[in-house]
Amino acid sequence: MGNGGSTGKRSDNAPSAAEAQLSVQRELRRNILDDASGPQWAQARDLAAHMLLHLDSPLDCSRIASRWIREAFRCDRADIGLGSPSDQFYAPGFAESRSPDDEIVSIAGLSVNNRDKGVRALWFSERPLVYADLSQESRFGTELRRWFLKNGVRSKLAWSISNRGAPLGLICIDWIEQPLPWSSALVDRFQDVCDGILNPIIGSSFALNAAYGCGDASDSGLRSADGSVHDADITCLLKHLSDAELRVAQLAACGLRYKEIAFALDRSFSTIDHQLRSVRTKLNVRNQAELVGLLARYAPKFKQRQGVN
């Protein structure tokens, strides 16, 4: 949020986090629920209202959306993952909802080649993409298609989610061992939910967390005697993070709380606490606020580190 000249610090008369959240909630409510051009599907309006109550948590917003989509579209798994087209790898499983009736494999923690032709198409498509029969599908690369088939994914409907044109991630809904009940109306409805509800609400939630949930990077522990932070230092220290620690650090950079990270990765609170303590030690920061500020400032370096694995 804001223009490129912003320093990232809020002035003394800037709104508090609570005031900013209330203002954004009111604007979204006007645009989505009060405007005549907003979603007309009653169930989708209920989804928007529910998500707006959890605007302070990107994970809660995404989790509510994925569960609703799984139930509304009668699929077996709905997943929202984070990333951008420039990443070497895409990380699904940020907010995953699986059918309780079947033993559906979780995709949390999976690392997907973001250069796969099928994944690239999702980032840049102007409409959701339909994969009615993955056994006959040639738009995905061999390795990724093999993973889908090995885990019983029969059909898929997917698209990108964004905030005012800036990519946030991908949303994928899967049908396991059964064909997608395809119709143009179903695809149109999925697109309307993404465009009219998910993009503005999830995007605003992440923007609020970035503006009010992150510490000041200038307070980072990676300082020289004059208080400056060197790129070489962070690049060197990042090499000491394990893959699991890097994933936890990336979620912390989004402003997520411990319990939210634990839920997203299906790990215990104590495991997340241990991993973040290790990350802080390795990056030489004193507390969580410093860590989040550092991660926000050096996000490109973290993406480079992720691409090595």
Provide the pLDDT for residue 225: 37
Q: Report the candidate in 173, 174, 192 with the shortest Cα–Cα distance to residue 184.
A: 192
Return the number of other C-beta atoms located less than 10 Å from residue 89's C-beta: 17
Q: Report the candidate in 152, 226, 166 with the shortest Cα–Cα distance to residue 200.
A: 166
Per-residue confidence band for 237, with pLDDT thresholds at 50, 70 and 90? low
Provide the pLDDT for residue 105: 85
**Type of residue at 199:** N
- pLDDT surpassing 90 at residue 149: yes
- pLDDT surpassing 50 at residue 296: yes
Higher-confidence residue: 210 or 100?
A: 100
Provide the pLDDT for residue 121: 96
pTM, full prediction: 0.69
Per-residue confidence band for 11, with pLDDT thresholds at 50, 70 and 90? low
Q: Kindly tell me the burial class for residue 119, based on how many C-beta atoms sit within 10 Å of its own C-beta (0-12, 13-18, 19 or more).
A: buried
Return the number of other C-beta atoms located less than 10 Å from residue 16's C-beta: 10
Whole-number CA gyration radius for the chain = 20
Provide the pLDDT for residue 126: 94
- pLDDT surpassing 70 at residue 278: yes
Provide the pLDDT for residue 90: 86
In tens, the pLDDT along 49-88 reads 999 999 988 888 999 999 999 999 999 999 998 888 988 8
Provide the pLDDT for residue 180: 85
Task: Name the most confidently modeled range: 144-148, 204-208, 281-285.
Answer: 144-148
Q: Which residues contact 291 (CB under 8 A, 6 or more apart)?
A: 215, 249, 252, 276, 279, 280, 283, 285
Provide the pLDDT for residue 302: 58
- pLDDT surpassing 80 at residue 27: yes
CATH (residue range 217-308):
1.10.10.10
What is the mean pLDDT of the segment spanning 249-255? Answer: 77
- pLDDT surpassing 90 at residue 202: yes
- pLDDT surpassing 60 at residue 305: no
- pLDDT surpassing 60 at residue 303: no
In tens, the pLDDT along 127-146 reads 999 999 999 999 999 999 99
**Type of residue at 138:** S
- pLDDT surpassing 80 at residue 116: yes
Provide the pLDDT for residue 84: 86
Q: Two tokens at 32?
A: 């989505």
Over pLDDT 90: what percentage of the chain? 41
Q: Please state the three-class secondary structure of 207-257 as a single string.
A: HHHHHHCCCCHHHCCCCCCCCCCCHHHHHHHHCCCCHHHHHHHHHHHCCCC
Q: Two tokens at 31?
A: 């645009």
What is the mean pLDDT of the segment spanning 80-97? Answer: 87
CATH number for 17-211 (one of 3.40.50.10240, 3.50.50.60, 3.90.1150.10, 3.30.450.40): it is 3.30.450.40
- pLDDT surpassing 90 at residue 246: no
Domain ranges of the chain: 17-211, 217-308
- pLDDT surpassing 70 at residue 9: no
